[in-house]
A = this chain, B = another copy of it.
Amino acid sequence: MQALLEAVARGEVSSEAALERLARLPFVDTPNARVDTHRALRAGLPEVVFAPGKTAGQVVEIVRVLREAGQPVLATRVEPALAEQVRGSLPEGEYDPEARVLWFGPAEVPILGKGSITVVCAGTADLPVAREAAAVARRFGNKVELLVDVGVAGLHRLLASDETLRSARVLIAVAGMEGALPSVVGGLVDKPVIAVPTSVGYGASFGGIAALLGMLTSCASNVTVVNIDNGFGAAYVATLINRL
């Protein structure tokens, strides 16, 4: 902003144009969305499209604008049917059905993270969220380890992976039901643990509320929490931390 103001001061840019540019520059208007083309500049990350509620046409439109701006794009929560439709128009998209992500960008993403991110997952039913977190973290340029089915009622399984836990620079702990995994993982490591409650469960799990409350009240001090099922958000923050 200061650069622009200095240009105004030097008379190189009129004040109207400055206002215009300040406001209009960082996004492109499409009929349904102001597509933000500067996030990659700002954060050095691909643009992300959250697919639920969007038609294949809308996803294609947004991806095209961003690809034309030279950016890689990652679409999340993409169900197989939608993926197929989008790839009908944009066949270069690479689809990972287990993580439900659709990738438009280089096949090999350079590793920019300084250490590795370990994603720990309590039960098999939590796997889609854990896989989303892992896939996003990989596409964001991180080395990623994924540990599955290591719930707290079977500690031996978790302790067997103690080394993988301790070698991570940041950890993501994914769990539904009572959501106790982050507390136990948090007690085993001295690194930041990002907890992701999942909507997995029935009855008193109330669609993830039990896990969410459990994680927020964790007795391990190195735990922070993201929204229920928000594997993407956990990977995003883990990436930011891993680049520090």
Contact = CB atoms under 8 A, between A and B. Distances in A.
B209 A213 contact: yes
Q: How many copies of this chain does one complex carry?
A: 8
A192 to B, nearest CB: 5
Contacts of A167: none
A187 B159 CA distance: 13
B53 A200 contact: yes
A165 to B, nearest CB: 12
A219 B36 contact: no
Interface in A23-80: 23-24, 26-27, 32-34, 36, 42-44, 48, 52-54, 58
A216 B222 contact: no
B5 A157 contact: no
A18 B5 contact: yes
A119 interface: no
A6 B16 CA distance: 9
A173 interface: no
Contact of A9 (B11, B53, B204, B230): B11
Contacts of A162: 1, 23
B229 A153 contact: no
B216 A213 contact: no
B190 A202 contact: no
Given A179-B214, A180-B180, A205-B227, 13 more contacts: A5-B19, A8-B8, A23-B160, A23-B161, A32-B127, A34-B157, A36-B154, A151-B187, A178-B216, A221-B237, A222-B236, A224-B224, A224-B237
16 contacts: A5-B18, A22-B156, A22-B160, A27-B156, A36-B154, A153-B184, A153-B218, A178-B216, A191-B240, A192-B241, A202-B229, A203-B217, A204-B227, A210-B213, A213-B213, A224-B226
